[in-house]
Every structure is written in C-alpha cells, then in structure tokens.
Chain A
Amino acid sequence: MTMADVPEDLVRGLGLDTQNAATIGQVLGTGSIAEATVREDGTMEATVRIKEDSISWDPAILVLPRGGDLELTVINDDKNTHACLLPSNGDQKFLWLLNHSKGRARINLDGPGYYWYSSPGGNDEGRGLTAAIVVQGEVPPEARLDRPPQPRPTKGDNS
C-alpha cells in the first residue's frame, strides 16, 4: 500500500487497489513497493511484472538509491498483451510484451526525483499500468548552493 497515512484495510475495503472494484481501474499510487539492488559494478537491477488480471505493475513503486544505470527485467504474467514505455536519458525505451513474456530494459536516470512509466498500449495506462521509479539521493556536492544548511519540510508539516 503506497498511500501514506491511509489504513491498508481502508484501501482494500474501498477496492481502490483492485481492477473493476471501486472504480474501473486500479487507482494510481496503490500497490507494492520494492528496492533495486546494486551490483558490484554500480549498475542497479530490479524486476517489474504484470500479474495475471492485475493490469498493474508490481512493484508499483520501484526505489533506486541514486541516479545512474538500471537494468530492468520486465515480465508479463498476464493472459493479455501489454507494453512498457520507460523514461531514460536519450530516449524513452519501449518494450512490447506478448502474453507470458519476459524482456529487458537498460535505462539511465538522473536523481533525485521520481518518474512515471506506463504501458502505452490501449487503455492500459488508465486502468493502472502506470507506476513510479523513485530515485533517492542528492545532487553532486559541486552543484549545491553555497549557503548554510537550510531547513527542509518535515513529516510533521504534512500532518
């Protein structure tokens, strides 16, 4: 569950995280969270998949520790054909995903910040096949402003 400060049973009870329940599609921002792993050479790797009849990406939020190169394994476990359009510096990366197929994507992203990606096929985006890649970290020290450390918003500010 990825809606902050919302009880998980409320999300499930309302059917927000399910296809054709509360509404037609699964509401964006619901779903699982996973972290990418970092190989010894610094390349990050992770797997995202579409489970059968979910029409959503699992994980719905993939967290990277920093910007850089990411190798993604992309799996379609669904009994329908989908696609994947990922952000990457240079050009977006496109992968066509037949029923029960597995492919790969190499992407490069700046950090920090988060990116949406989706399946651009048919009505996939709206039904829930839109997910996020969250890149953590700070900009390089040389790009920061020459000034004393400044206060940032805290969790308490959001309550």
Chain B
Amino acid sequence: MTAEYIDAGEAIDHGALSAVKGTAPRTSNVDYERLRTARSEPDNWMTYFGAYDGQRYSLLDQINTENVRRIGPAWIFQAGMSGHIAGASTYAFEACPLVVDGIMYVTGWDGWFWCLDAATGKELWRYKHAVPFDVSLCCGNVNRGCAVANGRVYFVTPNAQLVCLDATNGDKIFQKTIGDVRAGESASLAPTVIKDTLITGSAGGEFGVRGHVDCWDLETGEHRWRTYMVPKPGEPGGDTWPDDEAWARGGGNHWCTGTYDPELNLYYAGTGNPAPDFDGDVRPGDNLYTDSVVALDVDTGEIRWHYQFTPHDLWDYDSTMEMTLFERDGKKLLGHFDKNGYFFVLDRTNGELQHVSPFVDRIDWGVITRDGKVTPRKYPDKEGDPVHFYPGPAGAKEWTHAAYHPEHDMFYVPVADVGATATRRRREFKEGMPYWGAAVQVDIDDMAGSISAFDSHGEEKWRHRLDHPMAASVLATAGDLVFAGTPTGEFLALHAETGEKLWEFQCGSGHHSSPSTYTVDGKQYIVVPVGWGGWLEGIIPGMLGAGHGSALIAFALPD
C-alpha cells in the first residue's frame, strides 16, 4: 500500500523567511536633469561616481577635519551568503552604493541587489538573480553598482544580463541579454543613465572576446546601438590589426563605468587589454581601440576621437578605470591614471594630449615621455623566457578609482607598486577558454602601496604609505577629507591638504570597493562596502589567503 504524500505546498521566496519588508518608499523622481546636476545635490549619491564627471567628490562638509575623529559606525548591513554561488572563492564586495532621499541601492556578487534604509541599514527589499555556477568570470564574482532613474534601478549580472527593477519593491520590469556567456563574456560595471538611455559595456578580456559598448532605451530596454571597441578590417583602426582573425578575439572590453560631458554629448569609455594579453606576436600593430579612452557620441555610438595609452599592450594594462573630467585655465580636460603607471591629461574636446607623468615609483616595462612617446623595454617576447616587469598586470592602479578635489586641484590616487613575471606560452584560441598567451606570477613578497596626492600637472604633493598595494577607491569631500580603505581592513580618513591620518576604523575585512556619502535628515553618513576578494592573484597574491567579508558599514558623527 502506498501512503498519500503530505502536501508540502509551493516553494516560496527565500527572502520571505527574513525580516525584509519587501517595499521601499517611493523617492522623488530622478530624471536626466537631476543626474546632469547631481553634484549640486550632495544629500544624494545618484550615480556611480556621484556625478557624471567621475570626480568622486562631495560638497558635504558636516564631517570634516575638525570632527572626523569622533565618527563611528551608525549601522552595519551583513549580506552573507546562502546557496551555491559561482566563483565562490573569488566573490568580493566591489560596489558603490547609491542613495536617493534616504533610500540606498547597492549591488553585490552573484546577482544580488539590496535596497536599504540609508539611516538605519534596515533591508527593505532584495532581488537575487540566478547566476550559473559555470559562468566564465575572469576576475571574480563581482559587480560594481547600479543606476537609478524614473522610479527604477538598473544593474548587470555576471552572466551578462541587464536587469531593470521597480525601485519600490524590486520587481523585475525587463531583462535583456547583453553578452554571450558561451564566448566568455560577462558583465560587472555599473550602468550609466544618460538622457533617455542607459549605457553598458562588456567584460571578458581574458577570453578573447570582441569588446563593445551598448546603449539601451531606458523605458523599454530596446537596443539603441552597439559600438565595438575593436574594428573590423576596413573600418577606421582596422589597419592596426593583422590580416587574419585576431581582431575578432581582440579584447578591448569596457568593464568600468565611463564618464560623460553633457555639453559635448560625449561618453568617455575606457577599454581593456588586447587578447591574448601577453602574446603580441599573434596581433602585430597598435591594436586599436584597446587600452584607450574612446569618446562616443551618446546619440549614435559614433566614435568621435580616441587616445591609446598603451599601444600594442604586452602587460595586461587595461585602461578601463575612470576618465576624470575637470577644468583648468578654462580648458575642458580629462585625467586618467593608467595601469601602466602614468598619469595622462587630455583635452577632452578632441583627445589632444596635454602631458604625461609617472605616478608610481617602479616602472620598467617601458617609458612614456611627457609628450606621450612610448618606448617598450621589457615584455614577454620569446616562448618560454620569463620576463619580470613593473607594474604587474594589475597595474600601478587597478580598476579602483581616484578622487579629484576641484578646490585644491588635487587627485587622490590608490597606488599599487608590485611587479610580476610573465613567460610567453602560446596557445590556440578556443571560444570560452582563457586566452592569455603566458604563464603569469605576481610578486608576493615585494610590494608596496599608497594613497598619493597629485596636482593636475602630475606633481606629487603628499603620500600616505602602506605595506600593501591599494585596492579600493578614494572619496574626497568638501570637509577637506579623503576616505579610503586598505587591503588589511582599515578605513582611513586623511587630511586632503596634508595627507595626515586623522581617523581609522578596522572593518574586519579588506576593502575592494567604492565608498560614497550622503545625508538623511541633515546627518552626513560615509558608507563603505567591505568584502575582500576578486582578482587577488593579480592584485595582491600575498593577500590571497585573507578572509572574505560581506558587510556594508555606514559611519556618522554621534547624535
């Protein structure tokens, strides 16, 4: 005899078994006009960089050099983990939290999105995208943030999906596939809302994909345009590739958020390394538009100009990190601290180089003169011959962002000073397989780092030295403060003019994210995601064994 089964019912949302409320208050509408003038609303942090110019600078000054010693944790949100995630050994909390009217939107690894009360840290709703366990993630299971506009939030997932959610409850409004996971594509950047569109970019430079920037209709998700960052034969720049199919696997991914000049209507996209990373013999030529800034017309996707920081890269020197927009002597400029160890200043109207200067102590891969002449010196050349060079493939500054203080005309830069050895090992290209062309080992016992201040001419003004390479973004405020987290967990406040350390707090895990600041009911908060991980074997292999974390910590002055 067969006994009847007990009815177990229907599976429920895992989040229902928590204190999550499921809804958030409707905020004031964030439209393009507000995004365009975001810096004038320092109470909110409405875009990835805080403003389109990428300065990571806030006008808030309630927390300042006089009182920062008194700040402490106001709340902590612990994300934790449940279930089985892709790349479990590599997850990291790399995001920059956005805040609108006291409501915080923050993304995590493996398809997580959390909406929090920014005054209390209370979780209001959550969204979890299911990410395949086997998705190819070159540099960890990570995500850098979201975009907000018109009552919606937008983010990308590791399996290359663009997801649009209702900002009041996390319900999905639409989803678009933005890359080919079978080709090794993924996605990790925070999208950018511009006018009635949304900009995304590809990731997967270590798998020989063809990088691209995409534009989507903000309302419907309809695809507006795609511009490849590696041209086809016959297209402008196509003659910088050989006559075979190297271009089709050429890399040039846009995996960090770009900046935008509304007056010029130009989106400044940084692009990643060419593929294979270290085997240049299979791709003779400059390999445009890899390792470049590409200025795109937002309405059409047309490339207006470009500047290549490392022609024919043989060291994995992506140029995806921020293109900071600033003005000097009435001139519209763009500043960029590249993985190759040099600080570039360009005229952002036309890409004309203004000057180049080094920003890290050890550079021996080659030399770039102040007027931009590049001379490579050490690189993997002969099969099987190890070559050591500085900086290593994570660069003198990884993806984590500098900040710019316009009143001081000063950049604050998270600097990494570590070398690596690469031995060329040629391999055939196969779709979805890693395509480096070398065996690579980053130094583990000879490394240093700093938070360094440079004026916009490239002159170093001060340096806060660290034993480890820096691997987290910097935040500057009108309180004359510079905030940054270290790989060993300390969250620091430095004096913006002198570099003097004014305050620190041990957060319990290394920092690999971008802090932001905001106010609720007149009270200023500094918030930082804390969760060590990511591409540690490239950035700081000497810290590969440090524990992960998954906390979001907000600091404020006592009431």
Contact = CB atoms under 8 A, between A and B. Distances in A.
A115 B431 contact: no
B83 A114 contact: no
Interface in A132-158: 132, 135, 138-140, 142-148, 150-153, 157
A139 B179 contact: yes
B130 A110 contact: yes
A149 B533 CA distance: 35
B350 interface: no
Interface in B126-167: 126-135, 159-161
- Interface SS of chain A: helix, strand, loop or mixed? strand
Given A90-B127, A103-B11, A115 B133 contact: yes
B233 to A, nearest CB: 11
Nearest to B250: A147
A18 interface: no
Given A86-B11, A105-B11, A148-B245, A139 B84 contact: no
Contacts of B132: 110, 112-115, 135
A89 B129 contact: yes
A88 B130 contact: yes
B240 to A, nearest CB: 17
Interface in B179-201: 179-183, 185
B21 interface: no
B79 to A, nearest CB: 14
A117 B7 CA distance: 21
A93 interface: yes
A107 B131 CA distance: 13
Contacts of A72: 11
B321 interface: no
B135 A113 contact: yes
Interface string A92-117: 11111111111111111110111111
A142 B83 contact: no
B502 interface: no
B439 interface: no
Nearest to A92: B14
Contacts of B448: none
Contacts of B245: 147-148, 150
Contact of B11 (A94, A110, A112): A94
B10 A104 contact: yes
Contacts of A95: 8-12
Nearest to A93: B11
Given A93-B14, A151-B430, A120 B130 contact: no
B430 A152 contact: yes
Contact of B83 (A100, A107, A117): A117
Contacts of A118: 83-84
B175 A106 contact: no
B237 interface: no
A145 B134 contact: no
Contacts of A104: 9-11
Contact of A90 (B128, B177, B179): B128
A60 interface: no
A143 B133 contact: no
Nearest to B9: A103
A142 B431 contact: no
A104 B8 CA distance: 8
A113 B172 CA distance: 21
Most chain-B CB neighbours within 10 Å: which of A138, A139, A140? A139
Contacts of A105: 10-11
A68 to B, nearest CB: 12
A15 interface: no
A89 B10 contact: no
Nearest to B128: A91
Contacts of B3: 100
B215 interface: no
B508 interface: no
Nearest to A144: B180
Nearest to A147: B248
Contacts of B8: 74, 76, 95-98, 101-103
Most chain-B CB neighbours within 10 Å: which of A86, A94, A117, A140? A94
Interface in B1-18: 3, 5-17
A130 interface: yes
B223 interface: yes
B7 A87 contact: no
B7 A103 contact: yes
Contacts of A117: 83-84
Contacts of A88: 130
Contacts of A135: 132
A89 B180 contact: no
A118 B17 CA distance: 17
B83 A91 contact: no
Contacts of A22: none
Nearest to A96: B8
A94 B172 contact: no
A84 interface: yes
A117 B84 CA distance: 7
B83 A85 contact: yes
Contact of A74 (B11, B83, B131, B170): B11
A72 to B, nearest CB: 8
A55 interface: no
B14 A91 contact: yes
A102 to B, nearest CB: 4
A71 B213 CA distance: 36
Interface of B: 3, 5-17, 82-84, 126-135, 159-161, 170, 172, 175, 177-183, 185, 209-210, 212, 223, 228, 232, 245, 248-249, 428-433
Which 9 A-B pairs have CB atoms at the shortest separation, nearest pair first? A113-B132, A103-B8, A105-B11, A147-B248, A116-B84, A102-B5, A87-B130, A93-B11, A101-B6
Given A105-B10, A151-B430, 4 more contacts: A93-B14, A95-B12, A148-B245, A150-B430
25 contacts: A89-B130, A89-B172, A90-B170, A91-B14, A92-B14, A92-B82, A94-B11, A94-B13, A94-B16, A95-B9, A97-B8, A101-B8, A112-B132, A113-B135, A114-B133, A116-B133, A139-B182, A143-B160, A143-B180, A145-B183, A145-B248, A146-B228, A146-B232, A147-B249, A157-B430
